[in-house]
Amino acid sequence: MRKQGAWALAIQKKRWPLMILALFSLSTATVFFMRTSFDSCITSTTSISCSINSITDDFGEEKDTSTQIFSAALVGSATPNPLDFMNSKLVLLVSHELSLSGGPLLLMELAFLLRGVGSEVVWITNQKPAEPEDVVYSLEHKMLDRGVQVLSARSQKAIDTALKADLVVLNTAVAGKWLDAVLKEKVPHVLPKVLWWIHEMRGHYFKVEYVKHLPFVVGAMIDSHTTAEYWKNRTRERLGIKMPKTYVVHLGNSKDLMEVAEDSVARRILREHVRESIGVRTEDLVFAIINSVSRGKGQDLFLRSFHESLQLIKEKKVQVPPMHAVIVGSDMNAQMKYETELRNFVQEKKIQDHVHIVNKTLTVTPYLASIDVLVQNSQARGECFGRITIEAMAFQLPVLGTAAGGTMEIVVNGTTGLLHPVGKEGVTPLAVNILKLATHVERRLTMGKKGYGRVKERFLEHHMSHRIALVFNEVLQKAKSHTNSRILILFGTWIDHRLYNCLRRD
């Protein structure tokens, strides 16, 4: 009961819908959905290919006030919103699906940023489940509440909007299917104002049927330099097409996440609660992977490294606190074979007391508050960006990451974390790095602080808005000049005609 008292106090003091939600979300996603009705925030998801791990309801508290007032408040504040020039622009957002995975949630985040500056935002979802779904219903209503118009992807209205829009954002490679299927012969009219936001880098996305219009859109926006490079190579070598002008836009942490991360009371309460729920004591040391459980995310290799580090500790007789490995993101239904493999390994090595496997959850903040080190062990080409990495850094956690993909653009090796190679070659280096952070407390804490500093410098929501604003600005100019040149050509032919008539008359 003592604990509840502390809770009530914290809530009264902070009035945080987020913290309450954070605790709710310790149960599974489904339960979370049944209990809350989206009036506050969805913080994160771990079930995504590209690890864009969170979305938050940034204007949560202003829910009842109009967008107009909110944007006025923004304009009035010291720093003008970089997206202000989008005021009254018509933007069509094309999502391949509507779900709690990273891509759609990130697009929703953009929708709300644009609403915040007074853009007219229209949303369409290309692929919808045959049966009505609670998640789709809830997300659509969340958008309608914020003044986003939701249209059917195949409606005439959607086509009209595409033709009228100042900007069309196609989200993910797969959304490309919508162009031909719906716009048909009007595709060429719309392409010059399409900005393609790409978050994936798996081979099966390089299909002509998805991306054949890519060379003709006004621009592509990609989450990391590595991924942009990879798209450039693959489209050229596999499909023989050329990427349009490509902009790299690193993601940023939401305001809600930063609010929790920067509140020591909240962090402490969440930390106590989660540690108690998984059976880890205050002084224990926790290394965690927070990602959907799958071979690509490297949980198996992490467990091998962790086991190796325990052996090193025994061999060298070093003094460290009790160590734990936590894997957040389990989904038995999705990855039965792999999950069984993980559990068998734990049994075989008799490390049950040290390993905790937690079901996938919608919000990761409670876990970020309760662990000591984030492990980002994505394999092969790594993460496209890896939003969980910047989220962990916001919580002053050092990161042990694979030297691949977006992780390399976020983690400064030796300063905000330590990098190890992908694959089996990485197992021992990761074990050694785990040991390093376990034995050097000061170093671990300093790395965490530096990581936080790096987030404050470049991975906040306003940084992301600023980067997106630069892209939108350029893309709008180009789209406009394209329209203008078409008008000029038309005008040109008309003059020719008149001239011709004049000459004939003479």
Ligand X SMILES: *[C@@H]1O[C@H](CO)[C@@H](O)[C@H](O)[C@H]1NC(C)=O
Return residues touching ligand X (CB under 6 A): 28, 226, 229-230, 233, 331-333, 359, 403, 413-414, 419
* Closer Cβ to ligand X, 67 or 378, answer by number: 378
Give the phi and the psi of residue 219 in degrees, each rounded to 5.
-175, 160
Q: Which residues pair with 123 in a beta bridge?
A: 93, 150
* Closer Cβ to ligand X, 434 or 468, answer by number: 434
What distance in Å separates the CA atoms of residue 151 and residue 324, rounded to the nearest whole number? Answer: 48
* Closer Cβ to ligand X, 226 or 246, answer by number: 226
Q: Which amino acid is at 17?
A: P
CB 300 within 8 A of CB 342: yes
Question: How deeply is 6 buried, as exposed, middle or buried, from its count of CB atoms within 10 A (0-12, 13-18, 19+)?
Answer: middle
Neighbour count for residue 343 (Cβ, 10 Å)? 16
Q: How far is the CB of 224 from ligand X (least distance, A)?
A: 10
Q: Give the pair of three-digit tokens for residue 135.
A: 């998640």
Q: How far is the CB of 359 from ligand X (least distance, A)?
A: 4
* Closer Cβ to ligand X, 58 or 331, answer by number: 331
Q: How far is the CB of 135 from ligand X (least distance, A)?
A: 17
CA–centroid distance for 141 within its chain: 21
Tracing tokens 């850094």 back to the chain, one arrives at 393
* Closer Cβ to ligand X, 226 or 396, answer by number: 226
Question: How deeply is 289 buried, as exposed, middle or buried, from its count of CB atoms within 10 A (0-12, 13-18, 19+)?
Answer: buried
**If residue 124 lies in a helix (H) or strand (E), which one and from where to where?**
strand 120-127
CB 104 within 8 A of CB 97: yes
Beta pairing class for 323-330 and 219-222: unpaired
Tracing tokens 């962090």 back to the chain, one arrives at 267
Q: How far is the CB of 316 from ligand X (least distance, A)?
A: 20
**What DSSP letter does each residue of 251-280 carry, written as one string?**
--B-HHHHHHHT-HHHHHHHHHHHHHHHT-
Q: How far is the CB of 233 from ligand X (least distance, A)?
A: 4
* Closer Cβ to ligand X, 95 or 99, answer by number: 99
* Closer Cβ to ligand X, 114 or 438, answer by number: 438
* Closer Cβ to ligand X, 11 or 380, answer by number: 380
Q: Widest CA span of the chain, in angstroms?
A: 105
Q: In what order do the strands lie in the sheet with 194-198?
A: 149-152, 120-127, 90-97, 167-171, 194-198, 219-222, 246-248
* Closer Cβ to ligand X, 147 or 429, answer by number: 429
Return the DSSP state at 415: T
* Closer Cβ to ligand X, 203 or 414, answer by number: 414
What distance in Å separates the CA atoms of residue 365 and residue 201, rounded to the nearest whole number? Answer: 26
What distance in Å separates the CA atoms of residue 42 and residue 100, rounded to the nearest whole number? Answer: 9
Q: How far is the CB of 333 from ligand X (least distance, A)?
A: 5
Q: How far is the CB of 241 from ligand X (least distance, A)?
A: 15
Q: How far is the CB of 15 from ligand X (least distance, A)?
A: 29
CB 184 within 8 A of CB 159: no
Q: How far is the CB of 220 from ligand X (least distance, A)?
A: 15
Q: How far is the CB of 342 from ligand X (least distance, A)?
A: 14
